[in-house]
């Protein structure tokens, strides 16, 4: 994948933006759960549906062979520069993905099939990355981000539960992470549990509707998601995962 022309996205004019309020909660507690109505102003229904279509063309994630999970996945990288309400995005070349903070993946170069450039710069994805980038800057203060974009589908089948977090309770090893539910069809379960580092109350919640989301400071919490169980022969849970680390 080659670099693309920078794309500028202004999210500050969105009626329901709310970055100052949401980021303040992250600074206090380490995370915030956002429901669909709170993010509905970021992107139109047509742009969201176009983005959701990208999950229908995911290859099998071969990096979880032997872990007992069937998962499909693509990965892409962006640079995000935040200047007030403006976020400028640029596609970066694809690269291996490392999560040395997680024992299951420590020391492993994981290679995923790339996300197409037109998906990375689609209006729906740009809106969500732009929102998360502004959140990361509001929480951390950094303004130039290396962004990892993950399209992940976990499949549950009759007799074989889906495992959204085969690594169990964990920290991702990034500065900040945004999680956005894209689709949840034919499954039960998928309960997200957040463990704050400061010993405050554990929080449990389930993302149910497209755009139900969570954003967290990875240094302040650990988290996990319970298995998904197929209601019939099979079901899926589609997630957009966006991780943020300062540019080198």
Q: Is residue 151 part of a domain?
A: yes
- Which of 197, 148, 179, 170 lies closest to 101, judged by CA? 170
157: helix, strand or coil: strand
Residue 82 has pLDDT above 50, yes or no: yes
Across residues 143-160, what is the average pLDDT? 95
Does the pLDDT of residue 5 top 50, yes or no?
A: no
Of the pLDDT bands very low, low, confident and very high (cuts 50, 70, 90), residue 17 is low
Q: In the prediction, which pLDDT does 70 show?
A: 85
In a domain, 2, yes or no: no
Distance CA 49, CA 182 (A): 9
Show Cβ contacts of residue 241 under 8 Å, excluding neighbours closer than 6 positions: 148, 149, 150, 152, 177, 178, 179, 180
Closest CA to 165 of 201, 190, 194, 132: 190
Number of domains the chain is built from? 1
196-208 mean pLDDT: 94
Q: Report percent pLDDT > 70 for the chain.
A: 87
What is d(CA 216, CA 193) in angstroms, rounded to the nearest whole number? 12
Least-confidence region, from 22-26, 110-114, 198-202, 221-225: 110-114
Q: What CA–CA distance (Å, rounded) separates 215 from 87?
A: 18
Q: In the numeric block, which tokens belong to residue 91?
A: 């596609």
Compute the distance between CA of residue 127 and CA of residue 131 in angstroms, rounded to an integer: 6
pTM equals: 0.91
Q: How far apart are CA 9 and CA 83, in angstroms?
A: 10
By three-state DSSP, how is residue 212 classified?
coil
Residue 106 has pLDDT above 90, yes or no: no
Looking up residue 95, the CATH number of its domain turns out to be 2.60.120.620
Does some domain include residue 94? Answer: yes
Domain coverage including residue 90: 7-206+215-246
pLDDT at 167: 78
Residue 139 above 50 pLDDT?
yes
Asked whether residue 235 is assigned to any structural domain, the reply reads: yes
Q: Is residue 1 part of a domain?
A: no
Give tens-digit pLDDT for 26-74: 999 999 999 999 988 889 999 999 999 999 989 988 877 655 568 899 9
């Amino acid at each position: 994948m080659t670099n693309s022309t920078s794309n500028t996205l202004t999210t500050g004019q969105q009626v329901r933006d709310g970055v100052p309020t949401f980021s303040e909660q992250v600074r206090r507690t380490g995370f915030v759960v956002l429901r669909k109505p709170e993010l509905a102003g970021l992107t139109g229904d047509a742009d969201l549906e176009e983005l959701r279509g990208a999950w229908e063309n995911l290859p099998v994630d071969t990096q979880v062979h032997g872990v007992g999970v069937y998962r499909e996945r693509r990965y892409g990288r962006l640079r995000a520069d935040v200047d007030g309400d403006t976020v400028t995005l640029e596609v970066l070349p694809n690269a291996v993905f490392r999560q040395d903070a997680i024992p299951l993946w420590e020391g492993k170069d994981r290679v995923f099939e790339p996300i197409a450039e037109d998906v990375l710069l689609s209006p729906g994805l740009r809106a969500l990355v732009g929102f998360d980038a502004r959140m990361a800057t509001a929480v951390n203060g950094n303004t130039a981000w290396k962004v990892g974009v993950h399209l992940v589908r976990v499949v549950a089948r009759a007799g074989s539960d889906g495992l959204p977090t085969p690594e169990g309770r964990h920290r991702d090893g990034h500065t900040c992470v945004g999680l956005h539910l894209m689709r949840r069809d034919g499954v039960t379960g998928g309960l997200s549990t957040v463990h704050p580092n400061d010993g405050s109350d554990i929080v449990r919640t389930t993302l149910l509707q497209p755009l139900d989301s969570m954003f967290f400071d990875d240094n302040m919490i650990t988290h996990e998601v319970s298995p998904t169980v197929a209601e019939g022969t099979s079901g899926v849970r589609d997630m957009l995962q966006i991780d943020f680390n300062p540019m080198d």
